[in-house]
Amino acid sequence: MEQQLDFLVDKVVAELQKKLAELGEKTSGPKAEAAVEGKAAPQQGIAPVTATKPQETHSAPAEPKGTALIPNPKWKEGLDELLASTPARIGVWRTGVRPLTKTMLQLRRDHAAAVDAVYGEVSQEVLDQFSLFTVETQYDNTENYLKRPDMGRVLTEESVRLIQERCQKRPQVQIVVSDGLSASAVDANLKDVLPSLMDSLKSYGLSCGTPFFVKGGRVASMDHIGEILEPEVLVLLIGERPGLVTAHSMSAYMCYRPRKGMVESERTVISNIHRQGTSPIEAGAHIGTILAKMLEQKASGVKLVL
């Protein structure tokens, strides 16, 4: 999907450059030529996009991440070092007093992806792939979920009944998945995180209860689930708040004997699980290692020694 969006951004920019080039040929002159972003690009160290032969695939070429578009920076080494240390939008340069058209289109694309992550729903196909049944919190709807975090921490009565009927009581490890603030994070990462986590648990000789999916869940929903199932340890794989760098980031919150009234310092977390951050496969393996240490030390959060 991201490659297709990049392709569309490049195609729009190419068409704009083509139209501006045609306009420049008709009006000609220094001002007209300066208005054509595609012609100005070579002076800024940016190769112009060719619009005469449209792309035949959806994997569009894009500027390498971490590449400055500033022409002749005064301190290139420092700028390169800064770019290598962060995925933030820096060194994007400008056309006149505004950002480049492609930069603006990419910004709007990433903002739209963030909105879709919050208001979207996890694919049923993904849940079916891992045989995850669905329960819900008392969030009611997305607008209410955003305004009332407390309602995303408590399961509905029907959900409590369903968990009691279908889940193993007092498991050694309980795995829970939730959309949280990014349904896209679950769609993008679960297929790598969950199998890796299961393999890791198996390698440590740990048994797992019945995994399930919580719709409209907050982190503290793991406390309510802990009260119902009484697992030794619980891990909640949940979508993080999306940003303009990625809308697909997942976190893994882990806790020893979760229960209502727990404070945040009693939780252990691995965050930024996505393909540009912590590798989903590596994260799954590492989660298994942490859970094994929790069981060994009978502790989590700040009391756990990693």
User: pLDDT tens, 206-219?
Assistant: 999 999 999 999 99
Residue 274 has pLDDT above 50, yes or no: yes
Determine whether 241 is exposed, middle or buried from the number of CB atoms within 10 Å of its CB (0-12, 13-18, 19+): middle
Q: Give residue 1's pLDDT band: very low, low, confident or very high (50, 70, 90).
A: low
- Would you say the C-alpha torsion 126, 127, 130, 136 has a positive or negative sign? positive
Alpha-carbon distance of 143 to 216, in angstroms, equals 11
| pLDDT reported for residue 166 | 96
Instruction: List the one residue out of 283, 273, 176, 170 whose CA is nearest residue 221.
Output: 176
Q: How high is the mean pLDDT of the chain?
A: 85
Residue 34 has pLDDT above 80, yes or no: no
User: pLDDT tens, 90-112?
Assistant: 888 888 888 888 889 988 999 99
Domains and CATH numbers, the chain: 2-119 (no CATH), 124-303 (3.40.50.11240)
Contact at 8 Å (CB) between 236 and 219? yes
| pLDDT reported for residue 184 | 95
Question: Looking at 15-29, 121-135, 174-188, which range is the least confident one?
Answer: 15-29
Which amino acids are annotated as binding site for adenosylcob(III)alamin, given as ranges? 219, 240
What ranges in the chain are assigned the alpha helix state H? 2-27, 30-35, 37-40, 76-85, 101-119, 124-129, 142-147, 157-166, 183-203, 221-229, 280-297
Alpha-carbon distance of 216 to 159, in angstroms, equals 12
Alpha-carbon distance of 75 to 68, in angstroms, equals 12
| pLDDT reported for residue 127 | 97
The residue with greater pLDDT, 54 or 168, is 168
Alpha-carbon distance of 73 to 88, in angstroms, equals 18
Residue 61 has pLDDT above 50, yes or no: no
User: pLDDT tens, 119-136?
Assistant: 999 999 999 999 999 999
Share of the chain above pLDDT 90, in %: 64
| pLDDT reported for residue 233 | 98
Which amino acids are annotated as binding site, given as ranges? 219, 240
Token pair of 258 as six digits: 């979760």
Determine whether 256 is exposed, middle or buried from the number of CB atoms within 10 Å of its CB (0-12, 13-18, 19+): buried
Give the mean model confidence (pLDDT) for residues 8-37.
61
